[in-house]
């Protein structure tokens, strides 16, 4: 692969872009530079602002401030169609073509070769065939696009974009649903296009792939630019530190000294537990009065582990035990019955029932556990709601308010209350502090500690490493959908976690780099 | 829930009163009641009596809609159960007739619930199947004829009276109380509203959403079957082509007028039945007024629009702003 030198002409220049959604500042003064003929990885954790940046540049969202220059001339597209006409094409993870139309029709949609007002099907197919041949694809272009694999659909979308004289190609998580072989095909095409001088922005959370294909990396975090580096000179550990945003000096291990830690009773254990294609089999012991943190990058299998443990996802191997007795954990109902609780990361879509009141949301899991025929009376519901509104300081303290009207932090507290009301033995918390303001953030962490002292077993996922270090008794590190390391006691600190996350299965990473 | 009722029901009660007043204006005897042969007669009783099938349908429909579903097959289920009841009426006793007809409704509901809950089909498509096929099944049962019967027991169901109250009205009232007792007396109401509001969240909270969705379709089928039996008893015969025709739409309308969103969640049984009464009060009023019944549909549309506007949060929000501005001025 040719690596473009710094002197390569600057193709796309983004300067000082800011974008707010209401009070949330999604992008603050972000710069981004794409050179002609380079493959540039855009990285960051969930909510870092990658998608927002792409959407602002391609005109899907209007921007609040900043300028975009393409080939030196300022552009301000109002829609993705206008961006495409200007020469910036985007291919999203979910291919936005029409699966029921043929490959040829998709390639020439809106610009079919015509004669006397009639589409020249033969000519269109011939040209489609020729176009795809450039990408090394030889397929029946008359067949519906939907009948082909996601990889071919991606290549079709890329071919269409390139044929529309795109100079900048933005690929948003293009490899998420591809297998290894398909990724190779895609990478070959990407290198070929870069060789023709097209600038490619590659968004992915697969770091191995980023190291394999990209020339340069830009990292965003919390809507701000962290930095732009050359891939070849950026160690993996340094990259992860940029993404997770922790300076080693800042970190302190806040755990109780080892002498205070007595042997605690096992609450739930998982042996060889896993699901093929979802998360590799793992062993996990959760003890009463202990917090286990799950650390890893986005897509490393953190949420997947949590869902298996709770029963939100069916495992296909291994054995789960609760208080020493083997149990079946195949549905959320199983989890609830065994005294588990789960606060999912997607609070709005999987957590709260927005139109129901705080009271109803709080009693929901308890009522589901008791069953239909043991309804909680209105008085009992009022008591439970009032107790938790006070205990967790839910604001405004009105149990009859629809929960959708509360702030994110208070919604999170309502979800915690929902599970605490069931007197659980194990709570699984997926990113309990995400999208929560600073004050509530500290309160949630304080709550996690208190619950733990009361003898609850906790399994907590967080991208905030110093947060995990603060409350965890043990930390399980995940990488590529497998548990790779377990840290205990003194060993728990941010640098060890980072090292475990970054540990390079270098064989794979180097494979594609000649 | 109970605390919310008065505020939530205001638009519907107001609409009903307005329509009743209009009815009174076009037909001065509208509120007259008389007792004859131990049964009450009068336009008001007519409204209740005629409104019974849609009221029964709306009792089942409101639960289905609360789970974010819809049941288009209730009209066809009415035809099936009516056909079964009419065919069996003169050869079997009432208990057998009722068991067979309601059993058929239960099976229909199970079928719909199976498609929606277990197979995960979209409710509108899943129940469309039975909407089309059901009428065919009913026609097969009646062999394409209008089956009439004379069984006094069954006729009593449609035309008799208990303490002066027409039997259909008493049955509808009984079903309202029964459904209300089951739904609000158990935790079912809360769990249905949670499921309709956010099915994924409810499932993760341990709610058995599948069983619940299955159950509401079954109940909807049973209610429809009962409505079918009453409709057949009323005319002492079963017409597979026309029994319950388009009533699924009236039932959906009744539920919507009753303030339950088609996106599921919060529901009110009482207001759904009130919605059915509003529809019937309109129908009867137009008949009494002497206008051609063709006006019925137009008037219905206007009233529905009015009720929905009254419920619209945007409109009430605007009214609130106006009130506040006036308040600050004063």
Assess whether pLDDT exceeds 80 at residue B134: yes
> Would you list the domain boundaries of chain A?
10-244, 284-339+425-514, 347-423
Asked if the C-beta of B185 comes within 8 angstroms of chain A's C-beta atoms, the answer is: yes
Q: Which of B174, B175, B185, B169 is nearest to B2 (CA)?
A: B185
Per the prediction, chain B carries an average pLDDT of 89
Helices B43-66 and B247-257, axial angle in degrees (round to 10): 80
Task: Sort strands A457-461 and A290-295 into parallel, antiparallel or unpaired.
Answer: parallel
Q: Give pLDDT, residue A271.
A: 94
Asked if the C-beta of A355 comes within 8 angstroms of chain B's C-beta atoms, the answer is: yes
How many whole angstroms separate alpha carbon A30 and alpha carbon A429?
Answer: 32
CATH architecture of residue range(s) A10-244? 3-Layer(aba) Sandwich (3.40)
Q: Give pLDDT, residue B39.
A: 84
Q: Where are the beta strands (DSSP E) in chain B?
A: 34-36, 39-41, 147-148, 161-162, 165-166, 237-238
ipTM of the complex: 0.85
**Neighbour-count burial of A111, counting CB atoms closer than 10 A to its CB (0-12 exposed, 13-18 middle, 19+ buried):** exposed
Asked if the C-beta of A367 comes within 8 angstroms of chain B's C-beta atoms, the answer is: yes
> Cβ separation of A368 and B206 shorter than 8 Å?
yes
- Give the percent of chain B with pLDDT over 70: 92
Measured CA angle at A35 (ends A30, A38), to 5 deg: 115
Ranges of chain A with pLDDT below 70: 1-8, 22-24, 46-47, 177, 245-263, 435-439, 504-514
Q: Give pLDDT, residue B325.
A: 60
Interface test with B, best of A303, A332, A382, A428 (most B CBs within 10 A): A332
Q: CB pairs under 8 A, 24+ apart, for A396-401?
A: A398/A358, A399/A357, A399/A358, A399/A359, A399/A362, A400/A357, A400/A358, A400/A359, A401/A357, A401/A358
CATH architecture of residue range(s) A284-339+425-514? 3-Layer(aba) Sandwich (3.40)
Q: Give pLDDT, residue A433.
A: 79
Phi, psi (degrees; rounded to nearest 5) at B291 = -65, 150
Interval B268-298: pLDDT, tens: 999 999 999 999 998 888 888 888 877 777 8
Element (H, E) at B307: helix B295-311
Could you tell me how far CA A318 lies from the centroid of its own chain?
A: 27
Asked if the C-beta of A2 comes within 8 angstroms of chain B's C-beta atoms, the answer is: no
> Cβ separation of A356 and B206 shorter than 8 Å?
no
* CB within 8 Å of chain B, chain A residues 262-321: 310, 312
Interval B220-231: pLDDT, tens: 999 999 999 999
Query: Do A304 and A278 form a contact (C-beta atoms < 8 A)?
Result: yes
Chain B residue with the nearest C-alpha to that of A351: B201
> Cβ separation of A418 and B205 shorter than 8 Å?
yes
Q: Give pLDDT, residue A84.
A: 84
Q: Give pLDDT, residue B326.
A: 60
- What are the chain A neighbours of B202 within 8 Å (beta carbons)? 353, 364, 368
Interval A327-385: pLDDT, tens: 999 999 999 999 999 999 888 889 999 999 999 999 999 999 998 889 999 999 999 99
Q: Same fold for the domain at A10-244 and the one at A284-339+425-514?
A: yes
Q: Give pLDDT, residue A464.
A: 78
- What are the chain A neighbours of B200 within 8 Å (beta carbons)? 349-350
Q: How far is B212 from chain A (nearest CA, A)?
A: 10
Tokens of B292: 């051609």
Q: How far is A422 from chain B (nearest CA, A)?
A: 10
Asked if the C-beta of A340 comes within 8 angstroms of chain B's C-beta atoms, the answer is: no
> Cβ separation of B207 and A364 shorter than 8 Å?
yes
> Cβ separation of B186 and A342 shorter than 8 Å?
no
Chain B residue with the nearest C-alpha to that of A422: B205
Mean pLDDT of B158-177: 94
Tokens of A443: 């309160």
> Cβ separation of A336 and B191 shorter than 8 Å?
no
Distances from the Cα of A238 to the Cαs of A219, A227, A243, A442, in angstroms? 11, 11, 9, 28
Q: Give pLDDT, residue A514.
A: 36
Q: Give pLDDT, residue A253.
A: 42
Mean pLDDT of B209-234: 96
Residues 6+ positions from A92 with CB-CB distance below 8 Å: A172, A173
Residues 6+ positions from B145 with CB-CB distance below 8 Å: none
Residue given tokens 């473009």 in the structure block? A4
**Neighbour-count burial of B91, counting CB atoms closer than 10 A to its CB (0-12 exposed, 13-18 middle, 19+ buried):** exposed
Distances from the Cα of B174 to the Cαs of A2, B56, B276, in angstroms? 81, 10, 16
Q: Which domains does chain B have, with CATH numbers?
A: 39-290 (1.10.3470)
Asked if the C-beta of A372 comes within 8 angstroms of chain B's C-beta atoms, the answer is: yes
> Cβ separation of B200 and A360 shorter than 8 Å?
no
Q: Give pLDDT, residue A151.
A: 79
Assess whether pLDDT exceeds 70 at residue B129: yes
Q: Give pLDDT, residue A435.
A: 66
**Neighbour-count burial of B173, counting CB atoms closer than 10 A to its CB (0-12 exposed, 13-18 middle, 19+ buried):** middle
Interval B19-69: pLDDT, tens: 899 889 988 888 888 888 888 888 899 999 999 999 999 999 999 999 999
Residue given tokens 């270098």 in the structure block? A506
Assess whether pLDDT exceeds 50 at residue B6: no
From B190, B201, B203, residue closest to A367, measured CB to CB: B190
């Amino acid at each position: 692969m040719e690596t473009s030198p710094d002197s390569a002409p600057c193709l796309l220049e983004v300067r000082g872009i800011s974008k707010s959604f209401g009070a949330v500042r999604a992008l603050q003064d972000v710069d981004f530079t794409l050179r002609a003929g380079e493959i540039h990885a855009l990285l960051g954790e969930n909510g870092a602002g990658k998608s927002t940046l792409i959407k602002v540049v391609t005109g899907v969202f209007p921007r609040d401030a900043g300028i975009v220059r393409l080939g030196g001339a300022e552009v301000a597209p109002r829609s993705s169609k206008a961006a495409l006409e200007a020469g910036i094409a985007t291919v999203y993870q979910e291919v936005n073509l029409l699966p029921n139309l043929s490959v040829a029709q998709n390639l020439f949609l809106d610009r079919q070769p015509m004669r006397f007002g009639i589409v020249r099907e033969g000519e269109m197919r011939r040209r489609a065939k020729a176009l795809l041949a450039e990408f090394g694809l030889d397929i029946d272009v008359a067949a519906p696009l939907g009948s082909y694999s996601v990889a071919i659909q991606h290549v079709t979308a890329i071919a269409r974009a390139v044929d529309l004289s795109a100079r900048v190609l933005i690929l948003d998580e293009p490899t998420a649903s591809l297998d290894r072989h398909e990724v190779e095909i895609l990478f070959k095409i990407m290198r070929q296009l870069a060789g023709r001088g097209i600038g490619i922005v590659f968004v992915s959370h697969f770091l191995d792939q980023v190291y394999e294909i990209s020339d340069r990396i830009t990292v965003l975090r919390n809507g701000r630019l962290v930095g732009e580096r050359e891939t070849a000179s950026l160690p993996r550990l340094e990259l992860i530190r940029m993404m997770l945003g922790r300076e080693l000096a800042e970190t302190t291990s806040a755990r109780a000294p080892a002498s205070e830690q007595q042997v605690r009773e096992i609450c739930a254990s998982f042996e060889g537990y896993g699901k093929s294609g979802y998360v590799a089999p793992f062993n996990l012991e959760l003890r009463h009065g202990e917090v286990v943190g799950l650390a890893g990058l986005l897509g490393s299998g953190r949420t997947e582990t949590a869902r298996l443990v709770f029963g939100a996802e069916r495992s296909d191997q291994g054995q789960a035990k609760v208080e020493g007795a083997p149990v079946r954990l195949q549905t959320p109902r199983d989890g609830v019955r065994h005294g588990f609780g789960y606060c999912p990361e997607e609070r709005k879509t999987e957590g709260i029932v927005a139109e129901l009141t705080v009271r109803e949301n709080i009693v929901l899991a308890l009522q589901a556990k008791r069953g239909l025929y043991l309804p909680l009376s209105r008085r009992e519901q009022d008591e439970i709601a009032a107790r938790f509104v006070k205990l967790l300081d839910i604001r405004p303290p009105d149990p009859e308010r629809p929960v959708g009207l509360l702030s994110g932090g208070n919604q999170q507290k309502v979800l915690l209350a929902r599970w605490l009301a069931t007197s659980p033995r194990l709570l699984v918390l997926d990113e309990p502090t995400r999208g929560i303001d600073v004050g509530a953030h500290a309160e949630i962490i304080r709550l996690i500690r208190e619950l733990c002292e009361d003898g609850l077993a906790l399994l907590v996922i967080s991208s905030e490493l110093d947060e995990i270090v603060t409350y965890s008794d043990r930390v399980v590190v995940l990488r590529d959908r497998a548990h790779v390391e377990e840290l205990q006691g003194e060993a728990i600190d941010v640098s060890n976690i980072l090292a475990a996350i970054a540990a390079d299965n270098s064989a794979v990473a180097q494979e594609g780099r000649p | 829930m109970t605390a919310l009722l008065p505020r939530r029901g205001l638009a519907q009660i107001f609409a009903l009163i307005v329509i009743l007043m209009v009815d009174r204006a076009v037909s001065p005897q509208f509120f007259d009641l008389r007792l004859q042969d131990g049964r009450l007669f009068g336009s008001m009783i007519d409204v209740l009596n005629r409104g019974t099938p849609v009221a029964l349908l709306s009792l089942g429909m409101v639960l289905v809609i609360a789970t974010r579903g819809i049941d288009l097959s209730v009209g066809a289920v009415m035809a099936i159960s009516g056909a079964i009841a009419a065919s069996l009426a003169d050869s079997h006793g009432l208990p057998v007739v009722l068991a067979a007809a309601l059993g058929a409704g239960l099976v229909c509901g199970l079928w719909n619930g199976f498609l929606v809950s277990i197979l995960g089909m979209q409710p509108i498509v899943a129940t469309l199947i039975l909407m089309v096929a059901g009428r065919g099944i009913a026609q097969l049962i009646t062999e394409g004829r209008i089956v009439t019967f004379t069984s006094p027991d069954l006729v009593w169901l449609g035309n008799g009276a208990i303490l002066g109250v027409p039997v259909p009205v008493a049955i509808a009232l009984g079903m309202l109380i029964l459904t209300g007792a089951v739904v609000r007396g158990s935790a079912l109401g809360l769990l249905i509203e949670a499921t309709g509001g956010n099915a994924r969240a409810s499932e993760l909270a341990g709610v058995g959403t599948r069983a619940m969705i299955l159950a509401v379709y079954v109940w909807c089928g049973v209610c429809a079957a009962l409505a079918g039996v009453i409709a057949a008893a009323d005319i002492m015969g079963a017409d597979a082509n026309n029994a319950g025709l388009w009533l699924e739409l009236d039932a959906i309308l009744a539920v919507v007028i009753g303030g339950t969103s088609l996106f599921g969640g919060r529901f009110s049984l009482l207001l759904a039945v009130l919605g059915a009464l509003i529809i019937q009060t309109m129908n009867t009023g137009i008949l009494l007024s002497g206008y051609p019944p063709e006006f019925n549909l137009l008037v219905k549309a206007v009233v529905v629009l009015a009720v929905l506007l009254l419920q619209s949060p945007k409109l009430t929000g605007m009214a609130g702003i106006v009130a506040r501005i006036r308040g600050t001025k004063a």
